[in-house]
Amino acid sequence: MERLEVSKLNHHFGFTEVLNNINFTLEQGQVLSVVGPSGGGKTTLLHLCAGLLDVEEGRVENSFVSSSFAFQDARLLPWKNVIDNISLGLLANGWDKTVATKKSQEIALKFGPEADDFDKFPKDLSGGMRQRVSFARALAVRPSLLFLDEPFSALDIGLKQESQTILIDMISKKSITILFITHDIMEAIKLSDKVLLLEADPGHIVKEFSFELPQKQRDDKFVYEQTAKILQDKTIINTFELRPIGAKL
């Protein structure tokens, strides 16, 4: 069984403590999201889990065979066209160039870019399109564990929904495990089995919410109801420093 286990994780940047005593386990096929205010150490946590930062204190044990990362910004290579960007991960895994190109074209079509866009450079793409190419690049390698760092935050609601539907499809087939970072609580409720609430200064987990209903069966009503319920939660109100509308600042 593949799993990601994080225990007693602390992290510092210089003298600033960014993360304090983080513990959680992500099992195969699960979707775990971490929500919290901006600047709360979410991205640092994700980088530590993905091995992009070195763990200083505590343990991160990752037994997933493969993983990939979709960043908050697209991070496409400006000197490569759409297809060559998508095939980057495949080529790194030792795929043959022609096969990788063909596979990337198939994947591209699924995520939005059309045949006309294949030869375009990132500078000629819209922000949303770049983000989708980056998303396609991350999924092209068929990772068993996917790290998502708010990859939908730059998309409009239609595109956001489209990308979420693709993910929900993969989730319901149990073909992917996701560690997901967002500040959008509705998005977290729509996609996750478990939501961890991360409070800032230093980042620590204050609360955990679980959702049993399979993602495919979660309709708008479910999402809105759960969101409304969670937004009443005292811990959430304090963490995001929410004030009732009309209240004096």
Partner 1 sequence: MKFTVKLLKDFPQYLWSGWGAIASILLFVATWDIGHQIYGSLVLPSPLETFGTLGAMLGDPAVIDDINTTLYRAFLGFFISLTLGSVLGLLAGFFATASMMSRPIVTILMGMPPIAWIVLAMIWFGMSDETVIFTVVVASFPIIFVGALQGTRTLDGELKQMADSFKLPYRMKFFDIYFPHIFSYLFPAWVSGLGMSWKIVIMAELLASNDGLGAGLAVARSHLDTPTALAIVSIMIGSLMFIEYIVLEPIKREVELWRD
Give, as one character, the DSSP assignment of residue 125.
Answer: S
Taking contact as CB under 8 A, which single stretch among the options 12-20, 74-82, 156-164, 211-219 is the one that binds partner 1?
74-82
Report if residue 91 touches partner 1, rule: CB under 8 A. yes
89 vs 202, beta carbon nearer partner 1: 89
Report if residue 211 touches partner 1, rule: CB under 8 A. no
Report if residue 92 touches partner 1, rule: CB under 8 A. yes
Report if residue 97 touches partner 1, rule: CB under 8 A. no
Report if residue 99 touches partner 1, rule: CB under 8 A. no
Q: Which of 189, 209, 202, 213 is nearest to 11 (CA)?
A: 202
66 vs 238, beta carbon nearer partner 1: 66
Taking contact as CB under 8 A, which single stretch among the options 64-72, 107-115, 203-211, 225-233 is the one that binds partner 1?
64-72
Site for partner 1 in 23-62 (CB under 8 A): 47, 50-52
In contact, 43 and 147? CB cutoff 8 Å: no
State the DSSP string of 37-75.
-TTSSHHHHHHHHHTSS---EEEEEE--S-EEEE-SS--
Report if residue 75 touches partner 1, rule: CB under 8 A. yes
Cα–Cα distance measured from residue 104 to residue 83, given in angstroms and rounded to the nearest whole number: 6
Rounded (10°) CA dihedral 158, 81, 176, 22: -90
Site for partner 1 in 131-150 (CB under 8 A): 141, 147
In contact, 180 and 31? CB cutoff 8 Å: yes
Cα–Cα distance measured from residue 60 to residue 62, given in angstroms and rounded to the nearest whole number: 6
Query: Residues in the site for partner 1, rule: CB under 8 A?
Result: 47, 50-52, 68-69, 71, 73, 75, 77-80, 88-89, 91-92, 121-123, 141, 147
